[in-house]
Structure 1
Amino acid sequence: MELTILDFIQEHMRNAFLDVGMPFVSTLGNAGIIWIALTVVLLISKKHRKTGILMALALVFDVILCNGILKNAVARTRPFDVNTGISLLVKKPTDYSFPSGHTAASFAAVTVLFFAKEKYRYPALVLAVLIAFSRLYLYVHYPTDILGGILVGILCGVIAYLITKKKLKFGSING
């Protein structure tokens, strides 16, 4: 069923524009780089430092849970290893497929932005969704890898918020 969805994307959505755009969008999520960069910017800003601390914590939790524990515990083969006839637009990832690390980091960061009520949370959500979709478009993740990444990311953002709210008395994040 999941390969059917990925094959549908390949057969009905692939085009020259997205063949350039989706690898670029996916690259923004490599190692969570766009979210790490945003975290640094937030940490530098006195006004947004609490959000930066919260985001850093959420991303650390994400790396531990997603890349350190779940990927190795589940050890799911990537879709391009199952359907070897696919022509990849990106270098083959060498780690396991579940959950999507790009997606998990994206949603951990976005969850924090929503808790903090940052004005750019909606554009960040759009970017997170695009990064998640790019992983399907590029045939490097199954749909359930993306769903798992969304859930892991949200969980990491919520845990970071709850810990900081209780321990650091953040209450109103940037207030």
Structure 2
Amino acid sequence: MNVDYQLFDMLNQFAGQNHLLDQTVMLFSKYGPILFGLVFVWLWLSKSGNPIDNRKIVLYALTITIIVLGINKVIELMYFRPRPFVTYTVNLLSDKVSSDPSFPSNHSAGAFAMACALFWYRRKIGSVLLIMAFFMALSRIYIGVHYPLDVTAGAIIALIVTAAVISQRRLLDPLYQNLIQGFRRSKDQKTYRNM
């Protein structure tokens, strides 16, 4: 048995032992991405700080997440790794069994993409999201749908893409600035017409 499976088994063996823990982890694993999304909706609408900077962070996070999930899709097309429950007998808690490739984890990649993007600009709240992303990765192993290498690969891809996108700030900042101003103008015109 390989190390990846052994690490998987060390965490997955606890699944099914405590109903409350199982339900909490399953809910977080399933709806965690919505929580991440809500943070960015709040940031987009927030009046605290500089609203333009807030919206730029949201656009960076969106860009990074789309690129990360795109890279994941390319990897999945080139390499198919079956999910743990296909190859082994596991404590499977997920009610929705996916036949998608196990490697890399989209949940982990998406969570870390958003967390890294926010951490780059806002350390405090970004740290909270990084901790949540870490627990998102663990939850995927716990419920039996990913190996540790799957979630680690997702996190690494997110980190590399974040660094690459942020390194292009000189090009992206003016583009995002124009998008935000265009959004504000269209919103102002709509408000003016409704008066």
Offset of residue 114 of structure 1: 1.6
Offset of residue 132 of structure 1: 0.3
Which residue does 1:89 correspond to in 2? 93
Which residue does 2:41 correspond to in 1? 40
Which residue does 2:193 correspond to in 1? none
Which residue does 2:187 correspond to in 1? none
TM-score, structure 2 as length reference? 0.76
**Structure 2 residue 63 is matched with structure 1 residue 63:** no
Large movers: runs of 4+ above 6 Å:
none
Offset of residue 117 of structure 1: 2.3
Which residue does 2:8 correspond to in 1? 6
Which residue does 1:173 correspond to in 2? none
Aligned residues, how many? 165
SS in 2 for 1:96: coil
Deviations 1:116-158 (A, max 9, x none): 1243112111110110000110111111101101101112222
SS in 2 for 1:39: helix
Q: Give the distance between the partners of 1:72 and 1:33, measured in 2 at CA.
A: 26
SS in 1 for 2:167: helix
CA contact (8 A) 1:71 1:96 kept: yes
CA contact (8 A) 1:80 1:86 kept: yes
Offset of residue 12 of structure 1: 4.6
Offset of residue 94 of structure 1: 2.4
Which residue does 1:167 correspond to in 2? 171
Q: Give the distance between the partners of 1:118 and 1:44, measured in 2 at CA.
A: 19
Compare relative contact order (CA 8 Å, sep 6+) and give the higher one, 1 or 2. Answer: 1
Q: Give the distance between the partners of 2:83 and 2:64, measured in 1 at CA.
A: 26
* Runs of 5+ unmatched residues, structure 1: 171-175
Which residue does 2:188 correspond to in 1? none
Q: Give the distance between the partners of 2:59 and 2:101, measured in 1 at CA.
A: 29
TM-score, structure 1 as length reference? 0.84
Identity percentage of aligned residues: 27
Going from structure 1 to structure 2, the CA distance change for 1:53 and 1:80 (only over 3 Å counts) comes to: same
Q: Give the distance between the partners of 1:159 and 1:36, measured in 2 at CA.
A: 22
**Where is the helix percentage greater, Structure 1 or Structure 2?**
2
Going from structure 1 to structure 2, the CA distance change for 1:44 and 1:160 (only over 3 Å counts) comes to: farther
Which residue does 1:25 correspond to in 2? 28
* Runs of 5+ unmatched residues, structure 2: 175-195
- Aligned amino acid, residue 8 of structure 2: L
Q: Give the distance between the partners of 1:51 and 1:118, measured in 2 at CA.
A: 12
CA contact (8 A) 2:84 2:90 kept: no
